[in-house]
Amino acid sequence: MTLHELTYCSRATHDMSQAALLDLLAQARARNARHGITGLLVYRQREFMQLLEGDRNAIFALYRSICADSRNRRNYLMWDEPITQRAFPDWGMAFLSLDGIDLQGKPGYSDFLDAGFSAVTRNATVSVGKRFLHLHRELFLREQHANPKK
């Protein structure tokens, strides 16, 4: 199997509750484990950004399924390219909520917001797709610093 990476963004059709996000996380982790897909899903103010890793056919099949899902719209494929190793090999799907929903201790929780890629890449190449996620993180942190009550 040749490893591939895909990064996309989309917009949720409605605000998602903590319960809905946790349900989405559980479903994604189970489905992705069956297909050998790993990655990081970021949710903030109805915006999703996701990096998927795995077999190219498997991740594009998943992306087509996500595009057809009625819970989101405005799907935009930002990046796809072969990779030599996974940045997220230890879980079926890492999940991070940037809206203050407490996921610490939940299976698949990522400390990406606090530690950035240093905590998760394990010497993996920092691709353009990962740079998109990092930029999203930096913009969020700047916004939080400028508006601490958000």
Domain ranges of the chain: 3-146
Query: Any idea which residue has 């353009």 for tokens?
Result: 128
CATH 3.30.70.100 fits domain 3-146: yes
Q: Which helix (H) or strand (E) holds 10?
A: strand 3-12
d(C-alpha 136, C-alpha 66), whole Å: 20
pLDDT tens digits along 16-47: 887 888 888 888 888 999 999 998 887 777 88
Mean pLDDT of the chain: 76
Q: Give the global pTM.
A: 0.72
Q: Burial level of 140, CB count in 10 A (0-12/13-18/19+)? A: middle
